[in-house]
Structure 1
């Protein structure tokens, strides 16, 4: 038995090494019950992902912060790769700005670390199912068809986020079969909760459920109850109003977090962040060595000439296009195989033969001479990568991807079209 335990532990450690750690990025609250709920959800996620190190960080008010959680996770990860799932229903300022800034602060503490930032939780069909469950739990003897729901959201200064909440209200109405569902907001925008309650009463509602669309207990839940009670006090004899519960830590919510984590982990498996520093080379009047004279070399040489480079080609043969360029004096050609010393005096080198062994030798000499080198057969074996480029609106646009040339080209094409569209406005 004593021999088995270390073996089991080694298996568990190996399994954890194979899966990037997860950091759940929660909002933060002064309400101890809300913080406890976030930790309870984290425990549920850990139970579903026993081979994953699951951490928790908060945007504000509660410790630890997201930057600290990301740094700790990256430092303990085998490749420094981490997945961050924002525990947010809407795509407001926290999702768009605060969490990404905290992620970058955490990454800065662990050089070379990589973070896959997963999408926020909503809208997700599983979350709508939970919302419907919370509403139905307070219906009692009311039928859905005779019940009006006021769906309460946080509210923010971003119209798109407020529109997501309004769209959710419509989906809840259609999927739940309620008489009507109206959105309300506690902050920034309207209608506020009292205004929404006034509106549904004017429309003839006799049975009303106030449904807070929040994850955990906290200020928003408390304000929802307080404002509903205050509205009742101001409107004695009005229709009955019941308040549903927030989502809370539950297996269904944990499953959504796990789905987001797995999507982020797949992105890391696909290559994660491209490990290069994007820069523009000024090659006008500078010597560039191209080893290889085939079609790939032809494409690159034309672009190099457009940039004003002095191109020197080493290859036993040339394509007809390259032969014409050599005949016109636009490129120089050594009609032979690569030899040691060819990299001398070059500012930039491209190893583009169909022989990996030759390309390896070219890259090795370039590395020794501190000259950046592109390898056409094995990008990671070189010290520079060639972007997919396009021109639009007076700009040269470049995209560098990792192991997905078709996707890289598609992104390049989309950028070119986007710039063209902006220029036409």
Structure 2
């Protein structure tokens, strides 16, 4: 390394370390998989110190990992390596990271969301299913998606919703949810239901990150079910997600979002300004209810609106027929951002919104994302008009509080106008 390279590295701001909060396992293969993922994350985040702590069974514990990281840099990001929003995410990990933070006075910890909702993980799950299909056609295959199961109804509902999303995004005959513990249907019951519904071929897909007890129990229960029903349809078992580049990328994204929260100290990281859009080209990708609200405001501002969406709401259809905006009745395509002064990515598909924001970034065009504000380059304020004033409030991931502040300001403006 040259002296110039050393100077440049020394001049870089210190980025907060990352602690990956994993479950822990007695299975040596599972522990090795977690450590292998940490190595992959280090490749994605080469300027970040990455360590790993475990909820149970494996050392070091999360509190120890957080305290060690905080001694070097007083700001730490913790990413829970969890697919579901169960007890570990809601209680155990927060308690452990607080215990670790308390050992280093003055330290701060940003706790990132769990991994489960990320569409990239759905894509990985579909990849694992398709890897065991072999000569089976997707439309002739039923999938049973197996989750851990817990005592929190909302967490179990996330798993059921995931099964539905995989059914929508794949081409399978159907995708049925199952659970290994606490709640039902259990795996044998879900397999029986698949047979009653006419399944000819079944793939059991474990919705777990790494090898461990859950993967072992899944295999054992499938084997026992097949032994008890020799005339049942053939069953294949998919692999868990495992350490891979896709999973490492999701963890890195969670880290970056947490690091931004530490950078801004909890404040709203935007510069307030008013855009003059009259006569200027604005692109809206999406034609649903969110797009409807935004387009109405853009038209009020005099913007020249272009909409790219396969469908429109009835209100937007009427506006389009009246010639209020131009409409391309298709999905978003690369190049649509060209010539736009301002872009809104408001589809219900995060992958599409990501593509739109990425193209806008390369063209130096500000872009709002309706699904993930931090993934865009502009935020839409909560606005209202009162006494000749346009009032806007930008909050920091607190939409209800933001709206309440806006309403209070609108009322104050009306009161002042009446007093005058």
Band of TM-score, shorter chain: 0.5 to 0.7
2:49 to 47, 53, 67: 53
1:407 counterpart SS class: coil
Partner residue, 1:38 = 34
Deviations 1:255-307 (A, max 9, x none): 00011000001111111499xxxxxxxxxxxxxxxxxxxxxxxxxxxxxxxxx
CA distance in 2, matches of 1:61, 1:49: 27
Query: Is 1:407 aligned to residue 395 of structure 2?
Result: yes
Task: Tell me by how many angstroms 1:406 deviates.
Answer: 5.3
Q: Hey, what does 1:152 align to over in structure 2?
A: 146
DSSP-derived class of the 2:110 partner:
strand
Structure 2's unaligned 5+ residue stretches are 269-392, 407-420
Q: Which residue of 2 aligns with 1:26?
A: 22
| SS of residue paired to 1:55 | strand
Shift of 1:124: 1.0
Name which of 113, 117, 124 aligns with 1:119: 113
Equivalent of 1:167, from 145, 161, 169?
Answer: 161
1:142-162 Cα distance to aligned partner (Å, 9 max, x none) = 110000000000000000000
CA contact (8 A) 1:114 1:273 kept: no
Displacement after TM superposition at 1:39 (Å): 0.4
- For 2:30, what is the secondary structure of its paired residue? helix
Q: Deviations over 1:296-355 (max 9, x none)?
A: xxxxxxxxxxxxxxxxxxxxxxxxxxxxxxxxxxxxxxxxxxxxxxxxxxxxxxxxxxxx
Check if 1:253 corresponds to 2:239. Answer: no
TM-score by length of 1: 0.63
Choose 1 or 2 for highest CA Rg. Answer: 1
Q: CA deviation at 1:19?
A: 1.0
| Distance apart, 1:137 and its partner CA | 0.3
**Match 2:207 to one of 188, 204, 213:** 213
Mapping of 1:193-272 within 5 angstroms?
A: 193-272=187-266
Q: Report if aligned partners of 2:40, 2:244 keep a CA contact under 8 Å in 1.
A: yes
Q: How far apart are residue 123 of structure 1 and its match?
A: 1.3
TM-score normalised by length of structure 2: 0.64
Q: Distance in 1 between matches of 2:115 and 2:228?
A: 36
Looking at structure 1, the residues matched to 210 and 399 of structure 2 have their Cα atoms a distance apart, in angstroms, of 41
Provide the rounded CA distance (Å) in 2 between the counterparts of 1:126 and 1:32: 27
Unaligned runs of 5+ in 1: 275-404, 418-425
TM-fit CA distance, 1:30: 0.4
Residue of structure 1 in register with 2:345 after alignment: none
Q: Which runs of 4+ in 1 moved over 2 A?
A: 6-15, 405-417
Q: Which residue of 2 aligns with 1:99?
A: 93
The CA deviation at 1:165 is 0.3
In the alignment, the residues of structure 1 paired with residue 111 and residue 58 of structure 2 have an alpha-carbon distance, to the nearest angstrom, of 21
Match runs of 1:174-185 below 5 Å: 174-185=168-179
Give the whole-Å Cα distance in 2 for the aligned partners of 1:67 and 1:97.
13
Contact 1:114 1:272 in 2 (8 A): no
Specify whether residues 7 and 265 from structure 1 end up closer, same or farther in structure 2 by C-alpha distance, changes over 3 A only: same
Q: Residues 376-391 of structure 1 correspond to what in structure 2 (within 5 A)? A: none
> Matches of 2:24 and 2:404 in 1, distance apart?
37
Return the offset for 1:18.
2.5
- 1:87 corresponding residue in structure 2: 81
Going from structure 1 to structure 2, the CA distance change for 1:27 and 1:10 (only over 3 Å counts) comes to: farther
Query: Greater CA deviation, 23-32 or 264-273?
Result: 264-273
Go from structure 1 to structure 2 and tell me whether the alpha carbon gap of 1:14 and 1:179 turns closer, same or farther (over 3 Å shift). Answer: same
Q: Secondary structure at the match of 1:238?
A: coil
Partner Cα separation in structure 1 for residue 95 and residue 34 of structure 2: 21
CA distance in 2 between counterparts of 1:251 and 1:11 reads: 28
Question: Pairwise CA RMSD of aligned residues?
Answer: 2.3
Q: Which residue of structure 2 aligns with residue 130 of structure 1? A: 124
Contact 2:79 2:251 in 1 (8 A): yes
Cα distance in structure 2, aligned partners of 1:173 and 1:413: 36
Other-structure match for 1:110: 104
1:188 offset after TM fit, Å?
0.2
Q: Take 1:68 and 1:57, find their aligned partners in 2: how far apart are those partners?
A: 7
Partners of 1:69 and 1:415 lie apart in 2 by 39
Cα deviation per residue 1:196-238 (whole Å; 9 max; x = unaligned)? Answer: 0011001110100000000000000000000000100111121
